[in-house]
């Protein structure tokens, strides 16, 4: 996981609802075996989310001071709930499908890189053996072969960086897809439930299980995902 980033994101001022999101990244990392940089690049889809949804009682009338919204909520009971984001990520079918796709892409890239690396290693070993036994007719020919291998090595290193970059981009896209999916669902879910706040359970040290809506949210997410064409 990385350091937490706090994002405060008010919606348009002419709307009744304000949304603040705190993103708490949860990384699930799978390390591929091997000696290349691509081997130790990030792996699996990972998202982490902490959403705080704040729904005010009503928007201020035109010309009224903005402080009135805070004043309206003062003294009234708040309806709160929390979701265990780690459980959502582990059990959300969309997250699992994205993980599987990521793993397949990762294995394909690792295979592509591994094949080229092994080919280079064989050629490099053959060059070394030929050089040691004096197999080159001229020094110039040996230098040419050495330079060719150096160029090939650079191509492999460039491929390593390129494939690693593709994986990083894919991971970021997957993260955003799950983030958008969860946020969209919570907004729809809260239209009926009308919670003032929905917290991430990972940030709560002691909580009343009566406020835990993880199971309901997960059920709704998976039902909605199952209805989408694959």
Model confidence over 68-80: pLDDT tens digits? Answer: 332 233 445 889 9
The DSSP H or E segment spanning 23 is strand 17-23
In the numeric block, the tokens 């209805």 are attached to 227
CB-side exposure of 22: number of CA atoms within 13 Å? 16
**What's the angle, vertex CA 158, arms to CA 33 and CA 144, rounded to 5?**
110
Residue 14 confidence (pLDDT) above 60: no
Total residues found in the chain within this entry? 230
Average pLDDT over residues 98-109: 97
In the numeric block, the tokens 């599987």 are attached to 100
Q: Beta 50-55 vs 17-23: how paired, if at all?
A: antiparallel
Return the SS3 of 145: helix
State phi, psi for 212 to the nearest 5 degrees. -80, 115
State phi, psi for 68 to the nearest 5 degrees. -60, -30
Return the SS3 of 163: helix
**More confidently predicted of 191 and 20:** 191
pLDDT of residue 1: 41
Return the SS3 of 7: strand
State phi, psi for 160 to the nearest 5 degrees. -55, -50
Average pLDDT over residues 36-51: 34
Cα 136 to chain centroid, rounded: 52
Structure tokens at 149: 């291998």
Taking residue 51's Cβ as centre, other Cβ atoms within 10 Å add up to 22
pTM: 0.63
Quick: pLDDT tens for 131-165.
999 999 999 999 999 999 999 999 999 999 999 99
């Amino acid at each position: 996981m990385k350091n937490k980033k706090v994002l405060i994101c008010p919606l348009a001022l002419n709307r009744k609802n304000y949304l603040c999101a705190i993103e708490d990244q949860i990384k699930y990392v799978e390390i591929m075996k091997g000696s290349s940089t691509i081997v130790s690049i990030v792996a699996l889809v990972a998202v982490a989310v902490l959403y705080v949804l704040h729904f005010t009682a009503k928007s201020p009338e035109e010309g009224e001071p903005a402080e009135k919204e805070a004043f309206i909520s003062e003294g009234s009971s708040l309806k709160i709930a929390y979701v265990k984001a780690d459980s959502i990520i582990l059990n959300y079918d969309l997250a699992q499908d994205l993980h599987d796709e990521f793993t397949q892409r990762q294995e394909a890239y690792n295979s592509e890189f591994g094949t080229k690396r092994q080919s280079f290693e064989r050629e490099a070993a053959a060059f070394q053996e030929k050089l040691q036994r004096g197999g080159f007719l001229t020094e110039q020919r040996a230098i040419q072969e050495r330079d060719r291998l150096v160029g090939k090595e650079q191509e492999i290193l460039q491929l390593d960086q390129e494939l690693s970059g593709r994986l990083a981009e894919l991971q970021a896209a997957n993260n955003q897809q799950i983030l958008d999916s969860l946020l969209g669902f919570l907004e729809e879910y809260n239209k009926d439930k009308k919670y003032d706040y929905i917290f991430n359970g990972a940030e709560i040290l002691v909580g009343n299980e009566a406020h835990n809506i993880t199971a309901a949210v997960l059920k709704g997410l998976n039902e909605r995902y199952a209805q989408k064409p694959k």
